[in-house]
Structure 1
Amino acid sequence: MLDEELFWNASIEDLSRGYLYDAESEQYICLICKQSYEDGVIYQRESVLLEAKKAIAYHIEDAHTSMFDYLLDMDKKYTGLSEHQKELLQFFKRGLTDKEIVKETGGGSTSTIRNHRFKFKEKEKQAKVFLTIMNVLKNEKEKDNSELINFHKGAKMVDERYAITVEEREKVLKTYFKEGLEGPLDSFPSKEKRKIIILQHIIKRFELNKKYTEKDINTILKSIFHDFATIRRYLIEYGFMDRSKDCTEYWIKN
């Protein structure tokens, strides 16, 4: 499952490779599934032994085909690309000429394809300028507590409840986790926005790509709050977790 924070905080270079290097843990980490390879450890792929950096490169290829394909397959709200534009980019990646693309698509003209190439170059320039503007803005300011936090991908009916700033989150967490962020929850809020903040923090106690039984879920939640059933229900209701139809398995929702 995609780790939202890891993925969206990655640099363009890391996104292009599909992984980043975490100096603290000395691990190469996949940005898509969070599979990690420890630096200094030798990994086997079929009959070949690989260093961690090479191993994760092959992991991207084996598990996700390529970052080009993965990124291109993302929803339009992330790429800004139409299905036709995605198809053209696939042709460009294959190195087809304008004439060959016209033949593949069965319509249009070479001048139309050339025009698309030009528009993509212009789009690239605009994206580069915008990224630079945002980078300058980020570097010139101190931590901005008015910045909105990212919400989870499974969020349902996204509205003003999810317009949560860093400052709001920190204030709410401090109020409801009086013994510290790793401690128990003092009380469960009634206001929707506060619920989301609390649930977003609680879900961090669970691991990605792991299946939990209801008993496992209850055990973890009991250490956080006495009314664990309510927390469990809201984690499902707000799209933080999902479960099987017979309620025997639970997992963090992508």
Structure 2
Amino acid sequence: MTPGTLLTDAQAMFSHGVEAVLGDRLIIDSVSFDETAMLIADHAIRKDSFDRIVVVGAGKASAAMAAGLSEVIRTNLNSKDGHEFPVIGHVNVPEGCHRDLPGITIQEARPAGVNEPTVSAIQGTDRILQLVAEAGPRDLVIGLISGGGSALLCRPSPGISLDDKLTVTRWLSSHGADIVALNTVRKHLSEVKGGGLLRANNAGQFLTLVLSDVLGDPLDLIASGPTVPDTSTAMDALTVLDQFDPDHQLPAVV
């Protein structure tokens, strides 16, 4: 086997691996419909149980996930039986991930190479919180969460500023904290992480689709778990801070 053949084979394997985890493809492969229901994994959501779909989300793959979901809905739900299900939504993504999708705003909320929260991310998160808070009993909310969502889904707790969040994130990241430690602290400085997005929801049904980037797939840590119960406590977060900031150089409000 020649070096050129090895290179070609390696490139082909890499390309196939990437294609296998594209967000739109995964959604298209995971969501289907029969005559009465939307089928997602083990969940069957009856079509007569909702009148509108609200799509929210954040993450590096969330625009692709939204594109896949939009295609599935358009071709399998709204093209059948003459009944149109309105689709609205908002998804925060990094720059360079924009998609034009009917009814769903894809907001480029941070620079492509800087995985930190921004004012734009906060503004987009406020819109997401508004959408789920204003949803009603006949709405189906579908959350699309992927890696990178912690920075893109950002609403600091009262008394905590964006600068405070940035200071803590940069400190922990530069002092050896892993994703578990980092997200444990971030969840307790946020109105949206650690189940906050779900707490804000007033829709009749809320389903989350997650594309994991954390080993073991802990749902409370992927994007800091905006739609699942938080398994950590404030004391856990303080323990992390004591470990990585023993001299208490971080802002006192934190």
**Fold shared, TM-score > 0.5 on shorter chain:** no
Q: Higher Cα Rg: structure 1 or 2?
A: 1
Give the structure-1-normalised TM-score: 0.26
Structure (1 or 2) with the greater helix fraction? 1
Question: TM-score, length-normalised on structure 2?
Answer: 0.26
Structure with the largest fraction of strand:
2
